[in-house]
Amino acid sequence: MNSTLLKRDFGITFNSLAKKGVAIAFAAATLASLSTGAQAGLLGMFAGKVAEHVAEHQVEHQIEGHFKSPALIPGRDGPLAPSSNQGFAACPQLFPKSAPIDVGSVNAQWRAVGLCSNHFAVLNSALSKTPLVVVEKLNRAMLSDAKSEERTNEFYPDPRLARGSRAELVDFKSSGLDRGHLASAANQPDQQSMIQSFALSNMVPQDPFNNRKTWAKIESDVRKFARRAQGEVFVFSGPIFRGQQRTIGPDRVWVPSHLFKLVYDEASRRSWAYILANTAEARIEAPVDYAEFVKQTGWQLLGRSPG
């Protein structure tokens, strides 16, 4: 999308984007892409979530810097079942077999909410202030368009989430960690989608070398495969929290010990997963199969079998 179209569709230009804030552009872009009825429903959902998260935050126990990791694993504690479409009703097409994650099946302690964007969807947690899972649907045509798309580098807190239930820019300041994309910016085929990918709801605190070199190599390898694939390739990315839990910033954003990327080729029904420690020293190891992925993460993102 060029600046003329952005001004026509959303009433802003790229020059004014920095002044008015990408949060406004993101909210306008998201609402503009929906039908009138969907807009009303989405606004109603946002209002409800704002009230819910503010109330929860007021009574939330304050945690300092480091704390013992709770016996709570996102996938294991509330295994996912694609049933009610709760939270992802606006973007079922982004999931295999158009069967979205059932947000209601996730353990309530995670305070999870589903967020739809043009080309990816986020299961976000108000407890960790991070995504739990981000899903993308990649194909050859989309990635061909993405090659020429200019990166914005304009990070911003997701306006769909209430303060106190989301990561803020200040949380990453002086942390020594990157704002690491889960849905890669390099996968976005147009300017609106590129802007969406820089919401902090799509980020985890990540070691800089890991983010820019090791994880980037995994992302590149997945793109290479998707360009050769015969059809759609679904990619699930997320954090793993193991051991002593570290947090950053005044909002105590959780720092993952590891990250995962599960790849599912719809045409061949093949799947494999990368699991990478969130350190500068981490090296890419041989991918694991779906059964091992479920064992290590607890997520049954493709059901009991990848077929």
Phi (first) and psi of residue 122, to 5 degrees: -125, 130
Quote the CA–CA distance of 24 and 7 in Å, as a whole number.
13
Each residue's pLDDT expressed in tens, for the chain with a length of 307 residues: 444 333 333 333 344 444 444 444 455 555 555 555 555 454 444 444 443 443 334 333 333 333 343 445 554 443 333 333 347 999 999 999 999 999 988 999 999 999 999 999 999 999 999 999 999 999 999 999 999 899 989 999 999 999 999 999 999 999 999 999 999 999 999 999 999 999 999 999 999 999 999 999 999 999 999 999 999 999 999 999 999 999 999 999 999 999 999 999 999 999 999 999 999 999 999 999 999 999 999 999 998 655 5
The overall pTM is greater than 0.85: no
What are the DSSP calls for 210-235, one per residue?
IIIIIHHHHHHHHHHHHHHSSS-EEE
Quote the CA–CA distance of 205 and 248 in Å, as a whole number.
8
Number of other CB atoms surrounding residue 169 within 10 Å: 12
- List, in order of start, the domains of the chain with CATH numbers: 3-304 (3.40.570.10)
Quote the CA–CA distance of 48 and 106 in Å, as a whole number.
18
Closest by CA position to 161, among listed 64, 5, 27: 27
- Do strands 178-181 and 203-206 pair parallel, antiparallel, or not at all (unpaired)? antiparallel
